[in-house]
Amino acid sequence: MTASDLISFARGAPSLDIIDVEGLKAAADAALTQDPGGALGYGTAIGYPPLRKLLAEQHGVAEEQVLVTNGSMQADAFLFDQLVTAGQPVVVERPTYDRTLLGLRERQADVRPVSLQTDGIDVEELAGLLEDGLRPTFAHIIPNFQNPAGYTLSLAKRKRLLELAEQYDFVIFEDDPYVKIRFAGQPLPTMLELDEGRGRVVYASSFSKTVAPGVRVGYIVGPAELVAKVRVRATNTYISPNMLAQAIVYRFCVDGGVDRSVATVNAALAERVETLCSALTKHLPEARFTAPEGGYFMWVELPDGVDVDVLLPAAEARGVTFVKGTDFLLDGGRSTLRLAYSGVRVDQIEEGVARLADAVRSLEG
Amino acid sequence: MTASDLISFARGAPSLDIIDVEGLKAAADAALTQDPGGALGYGTAIGYPPLRKLLAEQHGVAEEQVLVTNGSMQADAFLFDQLVTAGQPVVVERPTYDRTLLGLRERQADVRPVSLQTDGIDVEELAGLLEDGLRPTFAHIIPNFQNPAGYTLSLAKRKRLLELAEQYDFVIFEDDPYVKIRFAGQPLPTMLELDEGRGRVVYASSFSKTVAPGVRVGYIVGPAELVAKVRVRATNTYISPNMLAQAIVYRFCVDGGVDRSVATVNAALAERVETLCSALTKHLPEARFTAPEGGYFMWVELPDGVDVDVLLPAAEARGVTFVKGTDFLLDGGRSTLRLAYSGVRVDQIEEGVARLADAVRSLEG
């Protein structure tokens, strides 16, 4: 077994074959031809102004409500710096993105996980906690094709969350990097849209999944006052984010590259999910999962006796890897795993699942 | 007077005519052709590995001692996060870069300014403070063509600083973005080199002045243990810095672009300094200054009666602007100003100085 033989269901990153390298070359050339001063000068902390304007138009908000950052995790970090107070409660989904948990714990938030169901966070569990006196600063929600679960928040729950936010005076942090990576079902309105400008929602997204991760371009949309505070923080941290990369992303957007790229990515991921589900049904019939309608991830529950701490090394010894479900939880999840299908080719998937099944069998002996 | 008539000696940024736009187009194409996976994937917080390796070679250190960031101000922020403890003393030059002062004050450092002379920080003043019991965490030094003064630290003082750092157990933070922008005199060894691996120096630099500010590529070199800590912090902040921009900068370096660019920039800046000095001698003979041997900035002292708070609006009313010396000091400097010549063309300089002189005369009435 060499490293190159390893089939990785671990990393939430696209394989190179679904990135439009030639389109990005053309976008780089166009950006440097059409606006060399903008692409190569310092700029300011709001980001590349034409990209900010385009995003404001796409979301139907004022430009002052948008700030473009070096990837959306940097956006999260700035927002957490503004919104988190040590010791104050913050609601997260259970399970949720491991880096979100880390960022909140680094800032000493009182993290309150609420169960995630296949149609999104359990809003009645949340309502009960609120009735019992919980007063969170904000609720962090990944509405579409959640990381790690792959589940999507239903329209009814989106509306209910907004009602609760209004009633109990908290902010919804709508963390939405996967929204365009939908390959089945119908798109749903964002909570940002449903909020209709009442200022209850701070929205973050990214071009990592629609252009490429290496461009490191993310953004936030929120109340102008909050965005202005983040702007000051961003200025004092790095003067301005990457103007060159943002100018390239902007050209790629306006020249139709993002739409083409999304079509390519979604076709590829739909096929990968289908292959993955078939392979699991064949090799690991005891596995429980919900086929995602988009995004990069699928959550798999194995029978209670399987301990992922033991399974992972057994799997890696057989040339396949994944992320343990326990990484996305403060407690529990001993028999769960996250399978990322974004970085594996279709021809690797069945072999990867067969190796995983072999590892599961090895624990039963 | 319209904004486009304004002659700005304010911003430390290069004019577009001295940026190699065509060279960067070629570098972008080459980066995406030769290493699309590296340029467009997530990467890690250490930065684009080939660029990190190149920088390690250039500085004669191990790769583990280098971390490439989104601009050198982001590098400064990470280092300050590691090194600054609230209430603990930090030595800075007087005057120094205003954003350095801001970053230190945000972190509640006990900022201790030490006089800057035309050959660099007054090491005997510093020695006196150390003898009297000052125990700084680190001394922040901009050794070459200092911002805002334009002065360069002599070799003798570099050595003396290292002796003091050894004797009194503090770190030298060598903040060196302008080192390659030398258009007169002889290059001096960095304190990083002179330290010969003893770990007394943390070095930061940038490609903003040798490639373009909009690429936002900076880096640190330091003890491997400190760099490892910064790496964790960087991972938790943004996963990875801009891989695309760093891959482009790397290609620009290895294809000779940086050397060509430095030659262009230095020839242009030498001419601008000469023009600026001549114009000051002609229009403002009472101004005192030292012609810089490199960099972007010249410090000008006007007679004591001139108050820059009054001069600046008078100058702007006449179509010229600059940064007040007081912005770079905790106190004093009422009659000093920083003139940046990096962003003005030669044909604007004499007119700009004539307007400035007219503003000075208007205060004398």
Q: Taking residues A141-163, report their average pLDDT.
A: 97
In terms of C-beta density within 10 A (0-12 exposed, 13-18 middle, 19 or more buried), how is residue B64 classed?
A: middle
From the list B21, B33, B247, the residue facing A36 with the nearest CB is B21
> Which positions 54-73 of A are in contact with B (Cβ < 8 Å)?
70-71, 73
| A16 CB within 8 Å of a chain B CB | yes
CA-angle at A292, arms to A286 and A296, nearest 5°: 105
Does pLDDT of A168 surpass 90? yes
Query: Nearest CA of chain B to the CA of A277: how many Å?
Result: 26
Of the pLDDT bands very low, low, confident and very high (cuts 50, 70, 90), residue B216 is: very high
Distance (Å, whole) CA A263 – CA A282: 29
- Partner residue facing B240 (CB), from A216, A239, A243: A216
Residues B50-84: tens digit of each pLDDT: 999 999 999 999 999 999 999 999 999 999 999 99
Q: Would the CATH topology of A3-19+259-364 be identical to that of A21-255?
A: no
Distance of residue A246 Cα from the nearest chain B Cα, in angstroms: 10
User: If you measure CA to CA, which chain A residue comes closest to B17?
Assistant: A37
pLDDT at A1: 47
In CATH terms, is domain B3-19+259-364 a member of 3.30.420.40? no
Residues of chain A numbered 91-110 and touching chain B (CB < 8 Å)? 99, 102-103, 106
Say whether residue B13 is in contact with chain A using an 8 A CB cutoff: yes
| pLDDT confidence bin for B363, thresholds 50/70/90 | very high
pLDDT digits (tens, 9 = 90+) for A23-36: 999 999 999 999 99
Q: What is the pLDDT of residues B142-151, one digit of tens each?
A: 999 999 999 9
d(CA A288, CA A278): 12
Name the average pLDDT for chain B: 96
Question: Chain A residue with minimal CA distance to B29?
Answer: A25
Beta bridge partners of A203: A174, A221
pLDDT in tens, A41-98: 999 999 999 999 999 999 999 999 999 999 999 999 999 999 999 999 999 999 999 9
Domain A21-255 fold: Aspartate Aminotransferase; domain 2 (3.40.640)
**A302: phi then psi, degrees, rounded to nearest 5:** -100, 165
Residues B187-200: tens digit of each pLDDT: 999 999 999 999 99
Q: Do B238 and A29 touch (CB under 8 A)?
A: no
Report the chain A residue with the minimal C-alpha distance to residue B215: A244
Of B137, B193, B116, the closest CA to residue B162 belongs to B193
Q: Does B21 touch chain A (CB under 8 A)?
A: yes
Q: Domain residue spans in chain A?
A: 3-19+259-364, 21-255
Mean pLDDT of A165-183: 97
Q: What is the model's pLDDT at position B282?
A: 97
Q: pLDDT tens, B98-115?
A: 999 999 999 999 999 999
- The gap from C-alpha B11 to its chain's centroid, in whole angstroms, comes to 12
Instruction: Give residue B4's pLDDT.
Output: 58
Are A116 and A164 spatial neighbours (Cβ–Cβ below 8 Å)? Answer: no
| Reported CATH class of domain B22-255 | alpha beta
**Torsion angles phi and psi, residue A353, rounded to 5:** -70, -40
**Looking at this protein, which amino acid is placed at residue B242?**
N
Q: What is the predicted pLDDT for the residue at B130?
A: 98
CB B291 within 8 A of CB B298: yes
Residues of chain A found within 8 Å of residue B239, distances taken between Cβ atoms = 71, 73, 99
- CA distance linking residue A69 with residue A48, whole number of Å: 9
Chain B residues in contact with A43 by the CB 8 A cut-off are: 214
Q: Measure in Å the smallest separation between the Cα of A239 and chain B Cα atoms.
A: 7
* CA-closest candidate to residue B206, choices B69, B64, B96: B69
Please tell me the predicted confidence (pLDDT) of residue A365.
Answer: 67
Using a CB–CB cutoff of 8 Å, tell me whether A360 touches chain B.
no
Contacts of B214 in chain A (CB under 8 A): 38-43, 240, 242-244, 247
Would you call A357 exposed, middle or buried from its count of C-beta atoms within 10 A (0-12, 13-18, 19+)? Answer: buried
In this predicted model, what pLDDT tens digit does every residue of B280-319 receive, in sequence order?
Answer: 999 999 999 999 999 999 999 999 999 999 999 999 999 9
Asked whether residue A2 carries a pLDDT value surpassing 60, the answer given is: no
> Is A42 within 8 Å of chain B by CB?
yes
The pLDDT confidence band at residue A4, using thresholds 50, 70 and 90, is low
Over residues A105-118, the pLDDT tens digits come to 999 999 999 999 99
Is the predicted pLDDT of residue A5 greater than 80, yes or no? yes
Looking at chain B, which residue has its C-alpha nearest residue A26?
Answer: B29
B365 pLDDT band, cuts 50/70/90, is low
- Nearest CB among B21, B33, B36 relative to A40 is that of B21
Give the pLDDT of residue A11: 87
* B1 pLDDT above the threshold of 50: no
pLDDT tens string A241-296: 999 999 999 999 999 999 999 999 999 999 999 999 999 999 999 999 999 999 99
